[in-house]
Each structure stands twice: as C-alpha cells, then as structure tokens.
Amino acid sequence: MPKHPLPFYPQWKSAIQLTLSWSPDLVLTPGILWYGSRPSNINVIGTELMKSFQNWPITRKYVLLAVLCLASFSGAIAPLSGQLNLADQEKLYNKTKLEESYANSAALAGMVAGPFFFAPISHMLGRSSVIFWCVLFTLVCQIWGAAMTDPGNYIAYVISRLFAGFFGAVPTVLGPRIVTDMFFLHQRGRAFTALHMAFLFGTIVGPTFSGFVSAHSFFPVEFWWTIGLLGFTLICCFCFLEETGFDREFFERNPDVPAGILANRLATFFFGQRVVLPTTWKETGKPDALCHIMGTKFDLTPVEQAKVGITPFLIGMCPVTIIMGIFTLISFGFYVGVNALTPVWLQKPISEGGYGFSLEQNAAFTFCHWIGIIVVQFYGHYLNDRLPLALARRYNGGVWKPEYRLHVLWLPSLVINPIGLGIFGAALQYYLHYMVLALAVFIVTVGSLASVPVTVNYVVECFTRYPAEAGIVIGAYRIVYGLTISFYINPWVEAVDVGWVYGMMAFFAVFSYMFVMLLMWKGHAIRKIQFSSLGSSEEGEQLVGK
C-alpha cells in the first residue's frame, strides 16, 4: 500500500501515459526535449519516474505555484505598506521624511535576515509549514504597526517593519525549492518569473494601495487593509499548500501521511514533522541529512559535516555567486534606491527642489511601476525559457548550459536600465516635468526587474541541491544597496549634485554587466571553483534536438 494515497499523493503505477501541457513548440520524449515539434503526449514508463513531483498533473502544479505567488505577493506588501505616507508619521513622531524612510530600510533589513533564519528550520518542519506560520506572524506584525499611534512609538514602529520584513520575505526564498521540485528544467524560467514577479509586484502594490487608502485618513489605515489580504492568504495556504520535501531516491524513508483532507492539513501545519522526513534538530544540521531531504544521497567527509545554517554563507563565498551577486547588487540595487527615495523627492516642497506631491498624487505616480512590471512579466514569460533553449539548439547541439539563461539580460540590463537611470538623474537635476520622471521610473523598473528571475534561476541551477539557500544569497545581494542608500544619499547629492548621483549609477550599471559577460564567457570554469559538497548543476543534459 503506498504511503501517499489520494487525494494529495497519487498512487504510483508501473506504466502510465501522462499528458503534459508543453509550449506549442516544445515536446518531451524519453530523455530528450525536441524543439519545433507539435505533439504534446508523452509516455513515461516505470514507477521511479512517477515518484517525481515533476510528474504531477499540470493543474496541480499551477495551483501550488499560484498559492506560492500569493504568499510572496502578500509577504512583500506588508513591510512596505507604510512607504508613502511620510507626512502623518513625520508629524506624529516629530521626525524628518528621510528619518521616516528608515522604517523602509528596517523592512528591507528584515527581508535580508529572515530567510537566513528560516531556511534551516524549513528542513526540520517542512517548507509549507514554515510558509504558513510566517504569513501568520506577518499578519501579527501588521497589527503591531497599526497600533503604534503614540508620539513615543517611533522605535517600536520601525521594529514592527523590521519583523514584518523578517517574516514576509520567507515564502519567496523557500519557493524556489518547491519550484525546482515540481517543474522540469525547461519550465522553470517561467515559474521563477511568476514567483519573483509576484513578490516584486507586492513591493509596488503595497505602497500604491496604502497611499490611496490613507490619503484622507490617519496612517494606521494603510496597515489594516493588508490584514484582510494576509488572512485570505493564510486560508489559501492551509487549503492548498503541499509538502514537496520528500526523499525521491529512497522512497520508503518517507513518513506515512494521513489520507483525509483535514488530518492531512493538520499534520502538515500543526504537528511538527509529520509530513517530512523524520529528522532531529541535530541531524538537520548536517548536509548529508539535508541531501536525504532533497532526494540525493552521497557520502561526506567529517570536514563537510557543516551546519545547514551556514550553507547560504558557503554558497555566498563561491566565485560564481560573488560575481553574479555583484551584478545584482549594482543593477537591481539602484532600482531599490530609486523606488525607496522617489517618495522623498516627490513629496519635498517645491521650494526645496521637490515636486510638492500630495500622498494621493504620489500613490497615482506609482502606477508607472505597475506598467513596468507588467511589461517585465510578458518579457520573461516569452523569453526566459525560449531564448536559452534556442541557443542550446543552435550553438551546442541541444546540450544544456546554465549560462544560456544569461543572454536574456542583454537588452534590459545593458541598454534599458542605464538609460532609465540617466533620464531619472536629468529629470531631477533640471527639474523636468514629473511625467519625464515617471518615464524614467518605468524604464528603470523594466530594466532592473527583468534581471531578477534570470539571476535567481541561474544561481539556483549552479547549486541544484540547495535552491532555497542559493535564492537567499542572491536575494540578500539584491536588497542590501537599497537597505543602506537612505543613510548616505544626502552626502552623495551634496558632493556631486543629484543629476550626477544617478548619472554615476547609470555608468555603474553598464560596468556591472561586465560580470555577466564574464560568466557567459567562462561560467563553466568558474562554477568548478566551489566547495565540492555544494556544487551541482544540470549542465550536459540533452534538452533539445539538433
């Protein structure tokens, strides 16, 4: 009798015919993905193949991905929902607008720190359970922030933003592990795009909605509306999230999972490790235990018996991660800096060189971010998988190399992003019409956000046994610049003037692309320079026909 009965874990059959919804020009035959063919049915023979979560029905995958996207979206909205309404907080706490923006920096700091803390715990309690509880604690932090209405609550308010980010970012960094479990290599580009665009869209939607909601009300209202969204997300997580962290190689090691819906849900979220591999906290601290959880078994020397908690730091020390991280730090970091400080420039009085925007006008201005992220979604959906596969077929006989994914970045990162930063600086320097500023923000949004799913996907494919940890590292690089810019932007402006601040950013963005070009050129050799227990990729797989 199988240990994972319906409805949550289908019984495995010795021979099955599985219909998958491929792209019209992609079809998988046993071991080979043919490019340019039309058939969509494949025969998968053997029980072992059926044990892979990649062979779930496509609708089941999409439901789980949709819930992950919702959790990422809601988790991103919460910590940044107070980004625009600086005037009320300025009066209440008797702080400047720049000092009020420190709350946003605290939220970003929480987004960096939280994943490092929860990634090891997720191996013990399960990814789905950790995501569920982090959404719940994010909801609590929103109530905490809304209650900070006393003039002496400034520090407590900033701390509430810190913890909202601490819990809110977790679904996005645990999501890559689930995506890797469920989707085939040639499908992951679109799945990663959906997951990370949901998170980034949340960072934009939160300030926009909160700005409109609190434009004619006291600022705590901007937190209360997010509580309903988080509550709905919590219900969806409880109903639809499933644990994918099972041993695919030694299937008998997996625990017995209750078949009933309610019993299964309670076991998944409320009773510890009932649906994950039976592992103690001590065993969880070893990479070999981690590899059992991820479905891979190999021998490690005593020196390699490191704690799972330091795995992200070890990945961060690998040259391929450092090189991609520097590009991400510069290229995406400037977008975070632009996004975090735009309300400061817009809401400054005209006499001080600002645009004198009201809160409602500022909220309307953020729709240029919305348009940009919609463009990025379409760009990523149509190119993030198709272009790498076409390059593999054209130049390497259909054999896969992770570096093929990086070629998607030529247009957004090398061309569009620097142009947008230059226009943004010129608009502020010469006090151009605010629509020019909006155009610049739109261009920077497209140029910067298009790189996010590509860079995360590439680093994950360099460390396929540790996708969550790899995502944590690249996410930290992505946020750290925006975390710190509030503290030194004023001295920088005083030193070179505001136009050249963003002009320098444009030149730095062009320079940062040299790191991507280095990986395109020597990525295979650079990936070999890493800790032997960490490195793993899918390079060499025959994905497309010659």
Task: Quick: pLDDT tens for 173-231.
Answer: 888 788 877 877 777 778 877 888 888 888 888 888 888 887 777 878 888 889 999 99
Q: How confident is the model at residue 8 (pLDDT cuts 50, 70, 90)?
A: very low
Q: Rounded to an integer, what distance in angstroms lies between the CA atom of residue 192 and that of residue 208? A: 24
Where is average pLDDT lowest: 276-280, 282-286, 412-416?
A: 282-286
pLDDT for position 249? 62
Q: How confident is the model at residue 351 (pLDDT cuts 50, 70, 90)?
A: confident
Chain mean pLDDT for the chain: 77
Check pLDDT > 60 for residue 341. Answer: yes
Between 24 and 247, the more confident residue is 247
End-to-end CA distance of the chain: 43
Burial grade of 484 (CB within 10 A; 0-12, 13-18, 19 or more): middle
| Structural domains of the chain in order of their starting residue, each with its CATH number | 55-244+310-527 (1.20.1250.20)
pLDDT for position 441? 92
* Section 531-536 average pLDDT: 65
Q: Rounded to an integer, what distance in angstroms lies between the CA atom of residue 133 and that of residue 234? A: 9
Three-class DSSP category at 463: strand
Beta carbons within 8 Å of 513's beta carbon, 6+ residues apart: 327, 331, 409, 413, 414
* Section 504-522 average pLDDT: 93
What Å distances lie between residue 153 and 102, 149, 159, 198, 262, CA to CA?
Answer: 14, 7, 10, 32, 42
Q: Rounded to an integer, what distance in angstroms lies between the CA atom of residue 455 and that of residue 471? A: 9
pLDDT tens per residue across span 435-486: 999 999 999 999 998 988 899 888 888 887 887 788 888 888 887 776 777 6
pLDDT for position 183? 79
Q: Rounded to an integer, what distance in angstroms lies between the CA atom of residue 281 and that of residue 399? A: 40
pLDDT for position 235? 94
Q: What is the signed CA dihedral for 318, 339, 145, 141, rounded to 10 degrees?
A: -30
Q: Rounded to an integer, what distance in angstroms lies between the CA atom of residue 95 and that of residue 142? A: 21
State how far Cα 521 lies from the chain centre.
26
Residue 227: CA count within 13 A, CB half-sphere: 13
Q: How confident is the model at residue 135 (pLDDT cuts 50, 70, 90)?
A: very high
The answer to whether 67 and 41 are in contact (CB under 8 A) is: no
In this structure, how many other beta carbons lie within 10 angstroms of the beta carbon of residue 237? Answer: 26
Q: How confident is the model at residue 143 (pLDDT cuts 50, 70, 90)?
A: very high
pLDDT for position 446? 93
What Å distances lie between residue 530 and 82, 122, 237, 419, 500, CA to CA?
Answer: 41, 25, 36, 35, 38
Check pLDDT > 70 for residue 293. Answer: no
pLDDT for position 423? 94
Burial grade of 302 (CB within 10 A; 0-12, 13-18, 19 or more): exposed
* Section 232-242 average pLDDT: 91
